[in-house]
Amino acid sequence: MEEQSKAFLKRYMETISPAGFEAEAARVWREEAAKFAARTWTDLHGNSFALVNEGGSPRVMLAGHTDEIGLMVTYIDDNGFLFFRGIGGWDPQILPGQRVWIRTKSGRLTGVIGRKPIHLLEEEERKKVVKLEDLWIDIGAKDKKEAEEVVSVGDPVVLAYNFEELQNGLAVGRGFDDKCGAFVVLETARLLSKLKPKAEVYAVATVQEEVGLRGARTSAFGIDPKVGIAVDVGFACDTPGMEAERKKVGDLRVGKGPIITRGPNINEKVFALLVETAKEKGIPYQLEGYPQATGTDANAIQLTRAGVATGLISVPNRYMHSPCEVVSLEDLENAAKLLAYAVERIDDSNDFVPF
């Protein structure tokens, strides 16, 4: 991966952006987009846009959601401890003992998630699944008044993890679901700005995917694209204990290329275009059969207005919805190349009516 792109990815991954609180990530994304896009802007919902080849035809939308899962402060007790609820889908077992960053009106504040020590848990308590309501955040405040001087009810929280590189071109970070998708669509737009697309291309960093695909609905309605392709993460099944899952979702592996999805959520001609492009350009890819509506922005895009010819590319991701999601930097590059070369082939002569 080029150093400019890697530096952007690192900076982008270090932002705090739970669903509904995406401003910090959106600003970084738009700043990068402004280096090459014809225009950038934000809509009333908070979706960020970068336009390439303004005035071209047809309209093509590329979407990756910029929001991540997180927590929200909902109560401060008399002793200054913060209680919280989840933003998006959490496995609560991940949370005890984690450091957190709270985004307050004055900036980023560190805290820790506390729980009764295992030594003091009764035998029956040890057997129980941890619940969010059994946990709290400790910021070191001596009482409620002191806590309320720095934290407010409604402040968003994330686990305190940043981007780091691992061996063999892999990277770990909090929020690759789905900052890596929003990264890919912007890298695709960067590539297209140097190619000669016929289409008018909208790269979109959508908001609030983790709480109901909300930003994809509003942004797709506004753009009214002919073709819409979402980029999200997919379940890598190359770790221990995933044998049964391979039979459900496929033998999907980190570093083996982007995943191209096929199913009722996907336009067959868009799927064929992506596969043909990958073969023609020698880009490695993996196939996923998804026989129902996907839980991605592709679902919302497909159902916009009178319908959109929709595709879905996913980046294989280990340990999804944890603070240590692992992806391959090469998969990110290949996803962007695949999308750029596929979009370059789209013009007004393409008929995406499925049959």
- Measuring CA to CA, how many Å separate 179 from each of 9, 205, 327? 8, 9, 11
> 74, 83 in Cβ contact below 8 A?
yes
- β-pairing, 309-317 vs 227-235, is parallel
Written as six digits, the tokens of 29 are 């994304």
Answer for the pair 274, 338: CB distance below 8 angstroms, yes or no: yes
Residues in the chain: 355
Q: Which runs of E-coded beta strand occur in the chain?
A: 39-42, 48-52, 59-65, 70-76, 82-87, 99-104, 107-114, 136-138, 156-159, 164-165, 170-173, 200-206, 227-235, 259-262, 286-289, 309-317, 325-328
Considering 22, 68, 187, 209, which one is annotated as catalytic?
209
- Count of other CB atoms within 10 angstroms of residue 160: 17
- For residue 200, indicate whether it is catalytic: no
CA distances from 326 to 224, 234, 313, 331 (A): 34, 11, 17, 11
Q: Where are the beta strands (DSSP E) in 178-251?
A: 200-206, 227-235
| Alpha-carbon gap, residue 94 to 112, rounded angstroms | 13
- Which tokens go with 72? 């929200």
> Strand, helix or coil at 2?
coil
Query: Would you please indicate which residues are annotated as catalytic (active-site) residues?
Result: 209
